[in-house]
Structure 1
Amino acid sequence: MGFPGEYPEVHVPNIFIYILSFIAFLRSIAILFISILDTYFSSASSPESQLHRPTLSEILIREFLPVVSFSDLDGDSPPAAVGCALCLNDFAGEEEIRCMANCRHIFHRTCVDGWINRDQKTCPLCRTHFVPYHKMEDYNQRVCIASQSQE
């Protein structure tokens, strides 16, 4: 038993190897062409298809969280943090920020808007609801009315 001392030789005609190489070359050209077309058509598509359509919930949350300039914050109660917890950059004088109504955390407007666009309804830092507690009933009513009108 064991391994045989000799193996039979297999002869593959050269033409067969050339044909396989040519097919592999054509395949790589086709993949390159398809990726170029995909890139072209995805960048040339209409801007409306690339825009994020906000839900009613996102619109209402943004309404409850107004945008202010960092320099406009009250000097009496300075924020606990000097930087945005989402992007980790420090706040500068005229940057637009959103101050959470319930927990008073502050974030850059673009950072927290990206969070809201992902259908998040709580503070990214402490998970407190964005909507102020005293306006929660109004928020729920407006969402309910809008969902009924869409049906």
Structure 2
Amino acid sequence: MGFPVGYPEVSVPKVFLYILSLLAFLRSLALSFISLLHLSDLLDTDFSAATLPESNSHRPTLSAILICEFLPVVSFSKIAGDSPPSGCAVCLNEFAGEEEIRCMANCRHIFHRTCVDRWIDHDQKLCPLCRTHFVPDHKMEYYNQRLWAASESEDDVSLFSQRA
């Protein structure tokens, strides 16, 4: 069995294809116009932390907050005499004058405070250069205890807010 020989081929008229192409183009044009209008509305609004939705604002994790407590912030001019490296290994910019830097406790690498804080905010717990832990070895148990206590208190707050 099979198809009879007399069936003509299925053909789509070119006009139909042109109409479909035109409709697709108009659809993409309309969507880009709508996104452009939405973008202009966003540019007109004030972007303070209070107006951004909670899902778009980035909150650092508890471990990131605790790690930042363990790593002191000093100005570059205070350690300039100790012959530190001349630039930040994260952003590759030179250190200068009164810029805030963080010195890693275990490995002694130094970075701009903003550069390494961004790294830590992404829940990184290791030095970006040598992968040594940020938290000093002798304070690791204290760090774990504080992290555990802070996570318990945060769970209590979220449970309380769900009941209300």
Q: TM-score, normalised by structure 1?
A: 0.78
* Matched letter for residue 23 of structure 1: L
Aligned to 2:107, the other structure's residue is in SS state coil
* Matched letter for residue 59 of structure 1: I
**Aligned counterparts of 1:129 and 1:60: Cα–Cα separation in 2:** 13
Alignment partner of 1:32 is 2:38: no
Q: CA deviation at 1:67?
A: 1.1
**Aligned counterparts of 2:142 and 2:93: Cα–Cα separation in 1:** 34
RMSD over equivalenced CA pairs, Å: 2.5
Aligned to 2:77: 71
**Aligned counterparts of 1:48 and 1:11: Cα–Cα separation in 2:** 49
Alignment partner of 1:98 is 2:98: no
Count of residue correspondences? 140
Deviations 1:10-33 (A, max 9, x none): 78364x355334313321222213
Q: CA deviation at 1:125?
A: 0.6
- Stretches of 4+ aligned residues off by more than 4 angstroms: 40-45
- For residues 78-117 of structure 1, the aligned pairs below 5 Å read 78-79=83-84, 81-117=85-121
Q: CA deviation at 1:39?
A: 3.3
Aligned to 1:25, the other structure's residue is in SS state helix
* Residue among 47, 55, 62 paired with 2:61: 55
* Residue among 106, 119, 123 paired with 2:123: 119
Deviations 1:47-80 (A, max 9, x none): 35343211111111111112111001162x322x
Change in CA separation of 1:143 and 1:11 when aligned onto 2, cut-off 3 Å = closer
The percent of aligned pairs where both chains have the same amino acid is 64
Change in CA separation of 1:31 and 1:131 when aligned onto 2, cut-off 3 Å = same
Aligned to 2:64, the other structure's residue is in SS state helix
Structure 1 segments unaligned to the other structure (5+ residues):
1-7
**Aligned counterparts of 2:14 and 2:66: Cα–Cα separation in 1:** 72
Structure 2 segments unaligned to the other structure (5+ residues):
1-8, 156-164
Q: CA deviation at 1:85?
A: 0.7
Q: TM-score, normalised by structure 2?
A: 0.73
